[in-house]
Structure 1
Amino acid sequence: MSCGCKISGDSGHSCGTKSGSGCESVNTCGNSYKLSVFDWLSNINNPAMSQTDFVEVRFKNDRKFFYKNVNNLPLHMGSVITVESSPGHDIGVVSLTGELVKIQMKKKFVTEDNPLKIYRLANQKDIEVWQESRTKEEPVKIQARKIAYGLNIDMKITDVEYQGDGGKVTFYYTSDTRVDFRQLIKEFAGTFRTKIDMKQIGYRQEAAKIGGIGSCGRELCCSTWLTDFRSVNTNAARYQQLSINPQKLAGQCGKLKCCLNYELDSYLDALSDFPPSSSTIDTVNGKAFCIKIDVFKKKMWFAYVERSMAWYDLDVVDVKKMIAQNKNGEKSSPLEDIKVHDIPVRSVDLIQENTIDRFERKNKNSGKNSNRKKPNNNSQRPNQNPDNKAAANQPEKKPNNSERNQENQNKPSQNQQNQNKPAQNQKPQTDQPQNQQPKKFKKKFPPKRDDNA
């Protein structure tokens, strides 16, 4: 069995409890369930001798209620208990104990008159029936939607919750109009063979039950900590200089986002120093009207009536002075003279985000490894020297017949001299022509020389 930290109440949870009394580390699970409460009074000793008998018990999704511990059971956060219900009993998990329960009861306007009772710690049989009921909720919801669609009822069944003992099933639905579900309840009772309870909820409560990720990248506020849903008006977006775009201002529920009210007071305090956006200025060059406002920079953009395409940004202090001059019957100076000239600040890209070649690999050790990469021409060509290079550039002269005979006569004496030299001083002779270059993809061999010719 599990401590029930998960929404569905199954046993696959990191707490790893195997007892009905719950786990000691359930309060360190973080937001393991919706609308979790951090007990900041857990490490503080109660100065009063008497402790409260009420505990907060949570059920599926965001449903919570307060029960009285009449039997003085040793309860702590994560204990799986059996509580009073109508009819039968229900299974829940203790989510909060101690003096902080009184503050939560006062916040939710729950009185201590005629409280519901805690029967006992849940045994093995109670846990098995509870988890078996949890597994039937999803197929029951799909089947209930089919029945409602067959009866042409304009409603959406959002969630289904079975009671811990399986004696009652609650259907949460949303609808824009009043629903006559008398025939629907008969169909549900005949199909599911249990007591049926229908509860209508709003679209914000639907988003709180289902949960999800908002446009900010975090979990929805309504499913984590927000309990009181205040009305959100489009004026909140106008005060914050936001574009009235329904796709951007709407949340998961289809209504305006609740977070529009979070910073509204700060914007209203900042806008109290601004003149009204409908104010006009009478200048020497003509009348000017306000186009837009920047709350953070404390600037207002004005444009002439005749030339509305040219905008001039002015400080709020200058605008107030110009309006005061108009009240005294004087025309203010033109907007071109009062316009704030912003000095462009040259930004330094320290992390090189704007450079195009920041992903390319640069050779940092180009100076060190330059000698290794360059081939050694002297080792590859041992007979090459500057004299040979100069001779290679000169055109080759063809020998005459007298020069050939003289060369043949001197050749035996040269061979005898080479035989008398030691083998170490001998160098390989290359008789290839110097100016002749091999063609690509074809290798040419020089013709063999006949010494006896």
Structure 2
Amino acid sequence: MSHLIEVAFRGNRKEFFSWDGDAPPPLRAGVIVEADRGEDFGRVHATGELAEVRCAGCAHGCGTAPPPRKALRLATADDERLDRELTADNEQARRMSMERVKANGLVMKLTDAEWQWDRRKLTIYFTADRRVDFRGLVRDLAALFKSRIELKQIGVRAAAKRLGGVGRCGREYCSASWLPDLRPVNLGVAKDQKLSLNPQQISGACGRLMCCLRYEHEFYVQSRRRFPKEGKILLTTRGEEKVIACDIFNERVTLRTVDGDTRVVPLAELKGEMGGAEHSGGTEERGLAASTAEYAIETAAAMAELEPQSMSMLDTMEFEAFTVAQLLEGAPALAEMVAESVGEAAAESTAPAVPVQAGEAGASAGGEAGEAPKRKRRRGRRGGRRLRAAEERRRTETDGTADGQSAVDDGDDVEGDDD
């Protein structure tokens, strides 16, 4: 029967293996496992249901798929002794590698070195601010140690996880003791929790923001959704009040009136003063209506100053209906005036076209002697086309066309028939 086990190696490195046997090995027991081109020594970290949960959720886990490698056997006393000897050899290999780094003039910091249990591979971990070309260094180290060399670049947080240490809380680093994944932590997490934004106060030994800042972040995000945003204007029984601060632990909100008076109100009482509505703010709704009416008035004034030609293109039924809908909410008096004009325009645009005799058209177009003919403003979807058609008709009639000629406006074209 195959069992899933999690094995821990030097530098808090962990991997999952399958164990063939009737029962899994005990915790903290030394085991020999399959490694890259050889064997390696580790200790059992988790077995059974805990190992299955960690395998499905850890970054180094394999999910629901079986692990690709197996744990071969339990370690003997000689294996334990050889592992203790490798601990001293690791530090010596790191110091010798640092000398070669300085000789090659590379900008990198070696954090740790790890011999494989069978000494077939030496893994060197380093940190660097940018990409490093270490091909020449690998050749020098391979000739020096007579083994396979692997250089692995890691971040400063991963380096702190490998080396371990004690944090400001007095306990071992979370990343080195129990934290399975190193999730990114940004400054927004500290802002949501109202913490100090001084990097020296919220940074760990690695120089990055502490991992523990993420532990309570979700609680703050969920709790603040029930409170109004700070700086928002609310309309309460006392008038307009501005939100100064929110105390999510005591369920209280600090408000300030226009006169500068400050008061602290429980969240439940504040909801009652606002009529049990959401924190959308009556002031915002009233401000929206006022701004809508003001915008409609400014739009009407600007439209009055437009030329008739431009007016014919802008005054469509869709635009008028949209303006009326806004005015009905913001300015009733102005909305009534615009609604009447829209009704007249709609009646004109839907009225059937009537043939106009040439003589009558000439009289209406000419008017009094010496006066220029006045064009009647037409509204509707095709107002501009009808105006151009009427202008063309007047021009033809004033040029002295045949007396029996008639013009019919069908909304799209102007056609002339000779009697």
TM-score, normalised on structure 1?
A: 0.53
On the 8 A contact 1:55/1:101 being kept in 2, the answer is yes
Structure 2 distance, partners of 1:271, 1:73, is 49
Aligned pair in 2 of structure 1 residues 87, 73: CA closer, same or farther (>3 Å)? Answer: farther
- Structure 1 position 157 matched with structure 2 position 107: no
Q: Counterpart of 2:2? A: 52
Q: Per the alignment, in what secondary structure is the counterpart of residue 92 of structure 1?
A: strand
Q: Specify the code of the residue in structure 2 equivalent to 1:82.
A: I
1:133 to 86, 105, 108: 86
Give 1:86 shift: 2.6
On the 8 A contact 1:55/1:68 being kept in 2, the answer is yes
1:232 to 181, 185, 204: 185
Structure 2 distance, partners of 1:284, 1:122, is 76
Structure 2 distance, partners of 1:287, 1:155, is 60
Q: Counterpart of 1:148? A: 101
Q: Percent identity?
A: 34
Which stretches in structure 2 are left out of the alignment for 5+ residues?
A: 288-419
1:391-427 Cα shifts (integer Å, max 9, x gaps): xxxxxxxxxxxxxxxxxxxxxxxxxxxxxxxxxxxxx
Q: Counterpart of 1:93? A: 43
Structure 2 distance, partners of 1:176, 1:94, is 35
Q: Specify the code of the residue in structure 2 equivalent to 1:92.
A: G
1:276 to 229, 235, 259: 229
Query: In the comparison of the two structures, how many residue pairs are matched?
Result: 278
Structure 2 distance, partners of 1:245, 1:180, is 35
Q: Per the alignment, in what secondary structure is the counterpart of residue 114 of structure 2?
A: strand
Q: Counterpart of 1:104? A: 54
Give 1:85 shift: 2.3
On the 8 A contact 1:290/1:300 being kept in 2, the answer is yes
Q: Counterpart of 2:214? A: 261
Give 1:272 shift: 1.7
Q: Counterpart of 2:129? A: 176
- Structure 1 position 222 matched with structure 2 position 172: no
Aligned pair in 2 of structure 1 residues 286, 243: CA closer, same or farther (>3 Å)? Answer: farther
On the 8 A contact 2:141/2:149 being kept in 1, the answer is yes
Structure 2 distance, partners of 1:237, 1:62, is 28
Q: Specify the code of the residue in structure 2 equivalent to 1:146.
A: E
1:221-272 Cα shifts (integer Å, max 9, x gaps): 1112111222223222222122212112222222222222221222222212
Q: Specify the code of the residue in structure 2 equivalent to 1:233.
A: N
Structure 2 distance, partners of 1:295, 1:311, is 18
1:268-318 Cα shifts (integer Å, max 9, x gaps): 2221221111313589999764443322233344557786xx855444456
Q: Per the alignment, in what secondary structure is the counterpart of residue 149 of structure 1?
A: helix
Q: Counterpart of 2:159? A: 206
On the 8 A contact 1:73/1:120 being kept in 2, the answer is no
1:297 to 229, 247, 250: 250
Structure 1 distance, partners of 2:286, 2:37, is 80
- Structure 1 position 62 matched with structure 2 position 62: no
**Which shows bigger deviation, 270-279 or 142-151?**
142-151
Q: Counterpart of 2:140? A: 187
- Structure 1 position 252 matched with structure 2 position 205: yes
Structure 1 distance, partners of 2:49, 2:258, is 65
Which stretches in structure 1 are left out of the alignment for 5+ residues?
A: 1-50, 331-453
Equivalent residue runs for 1:387-402 within 5 Å: none
On the 8 A contact 2:192/2:217 being kept in 1, the answer is yes
On the 8 A contact 2:6/2:47 being kept in 1, the answer is yes
Aligned pair in 2 of structure 1 residues 301, 72: CA closer, same or farther (>3 Å)? Answer: closer
Whichever of the two has the greater Rg, that structure is 1
Give 1:128 shift: 3.5
Q: Counterpart of 2:28? A: 78
Backbone CA RMSD of aligned residues? 3.4
More strand by share: 2
Q: Per the alignment, in what secondary structure is the counterpart of residue 207 of structure 1?
A: helix
1:196 to 143, 146, 149: 149
Q: Per the alignment, in what secondary structure is the counterpart of residue 110 of structure 2?
A: strand
More helix by share: 2
Aligned pair in 2 of structure 1 residues 243, 67: CA closer, same or farther (>3 Å)? Answer: closer
Structure 2 distance, partners of 1:281, 1:188, is 69
**Which shows bigger deviation, 288-297 or 174-183?**
288-297
Structure 2 distance, partners of 1:111, 1:245, is 42
Structure 2 distance, partners of 1:73, 1:326, is 69
Q: Per the alignment, in what secondary structure is the counterpart of residue 116 of structure 1?
A: coil
Structure 2 distance, partners of 1:113, 1:98, is 14
Structure 1 distance, partners of 2:76, 2:252, is 68
On the 8 A contact 2:165/2:172 being kept in 1, the answer is yes
Structure 2 distance, partners of 1:141, 1:300, is 57
TM-score, normalised on structure 2?
A: 0.57
On the 8 A contact 1:126/1:165 being kept in 2, the answer is no
